[in-house]
Every structure is written in C-alpha cells, then in structure tokens.
Amino acid sequence: MSISNNLLEIKKKIHKAAESCGRDPQTIKLVAVSKRHSTASIKEAMTAGHFLFGENYIQEAAKKREVINDKAQFHFIGHVQSNKAKQAAELFSMVETVDRYKLARALNNHLNQLNKKLDILVQVNIGKDPHKSGIMPEETTELLERITSLPNIRPLGLMTIPPLSKEKEDIRLHFKNLYCLAEDLAHKKLFFDNSSVELSMGMTQDFTIAIEEGATIIRVGTAIFGERPTLA
C-alpha cells in the first residue's frame, strides 16, 4: 500500500468513527507521525495533500526541516530535555509534551527571543504508568496555573499515551479519564481557549476509540508510513 492510499483509508476511518458518535470529522486533526521515516516519505504524504507531521527526536526533526518546505507543520511528541528547549521552540508549531514547569519556562524564554507564540499541550500520565512520562493527573491544575504567567506559551489542551493494553475497554477508560480531566481544567479556566480544548490521544491501534471519547488530535504513524525502520 502507498502512503497516499494509507492516508485515504485513515481519513475514511476518521469520518466513520466521528459520524458514529455524532461528531464533525473536521474537528479532528491527523498528525502523521514520521519519526524514523525518511524525508521522501514526508514528501510523498505532502504530495497526497497532507501537511501535519509529528516527530519525537529534536535532532532528526531539525535535519528534516532543512529539506521540507514550510507548508508542512510539525508537532513535537517526544520527551524534551530542557537544554533542547531552544530548538523545540524554533522548529515546531506545537509541543504536545510539556510535563513540567521548568520546560515551559525555558520554552517561554526562548520564544521571547524568537518573538514567537507557541501552542502547547500538557502531557498527562493518565494511567499513572511508571514507564511513561507525563505529569500526574492531580498535578495538572498547579502546572497550568503556573503556565498562565508565561506570555509566549498557549496551553491549548492535554495529550496522553495510555499504558500498553490489549483490552479496548481499558484504553477507553484512560481516554475517558483524560476527557474528564480536561473538562475540569476548562471549568477552572486554565486553558488558552476554554470553550475549545484540544485532546491529543489515540495512535494506530486505538485512534477510533480515541475519537469516540473526544480526541481532537490523533497521532498515527505505522498505519500511514508502515513499520518504522529500527534505529541504526
């Protein structure tokens, strides 16, 4: 299957999942996760009309940005070390993985110099999985309260990677919990736009469930680009 065919198939599934629960498919953004895939693959997706990508590694994304034109936008979805905050602030239209104040503050300082505003999501460890990064759900209020004082950062919503599970209903429960948490935080007026909060959840295995549970951003890699090449 070609990348353009895969994209078509995914978009059909997004439509179907959205319609099955009475949502407008236009409100769901597809981040094509291109980590470890070539710039040729990204270009192929762009030729097919897709312009939103996700990357996990700053160095890799920097190299790709040099050869991919500005029609493409990139979300950062990996772990950001605070000493890479400068590059993260430059390269991405959104950083989905802010999970501590120190990082938010570092991004804010670099954005000042770049004269840029940056959309971010707070990554939440919704399943309290010791192997996953992200802030604990009960700590999100305090983090967002502190982020409010950073003028260059726009907290648009939450992102999560649930613990690995083969049980669909386990995964669904985590997505439901993230939705409820976002509702609570919006009620407290802690987001940039509290009437329209972004929820990034769902990958190749579970994006239709995520859509049913309110995802506005899904991050799909394998189903678009195929299996990822292993690291050299």
Ligand X SMILES: *Cc1c(COP(=O)(O)O)cnc(C)c1O
Which residues form the interface with ligand X (CB under 6 A)? 33, 35, 56, 77, 161, 203-204, 219-222
* CB of residue 204 to ligand X, shortest distance in Å: 3
Q: How far is CA 35 from the centre of its chain?
A: 13
* CB of residue 228 to ligand X, shortest distance in Å: 7
* CB of residue 177 to ligand X, shortest distance in Å: 18
Residues in the chain: 232
| Radius of gyration over every alpha carbon of the chain, rounded to an integer in angstroms | 17
CA distances to 33, 58, 110, 188, 222 from 36, rounded to whole Å, are 9, 12, 27, 39, 11
Smaller CB distance to ligand X: residue 106 or 220? Answer: 220
84: left (phi over 0), alpha (psi -120 to 50) or beta: alpha
Smaller CB distance to ligand X: residue 34 or 152? Answer: 34
Structural contact between residues 218 and 14, judged by C-beta atoms closer than 8 angstroms = yes
* CB of residue 54 to ligand X, shortest distance in Å: 6
* CB of residue 188 to ligand X, shortest distance in Å: 26
Structural contact between residues 124 and 135, judged by C-beta atoms closer than 8 angstroms = yes
Smaller CB distance to ligand X: residue 4 or 56? Answer: 56
Give the H/E segment covering residue 121: strand 118-123
* CB of residue 84 to ligand X, shortest distance in Å: 16
Smaller CB distance to ligand X: residue 29 or 35? Answer: 35
The closest of 176, 188, 211 to 20, measured between CA atoms, is 211
Smaller CB distance to ligand X: residue 103 or 220? Answer: 220
Residue nearest to ligand X (CB): 221
Smaller CB distance to ligand X: residue 31 or 182? Answer: 31
Instruction: Identify the three-state secondary structure at position 204.
Output: coil
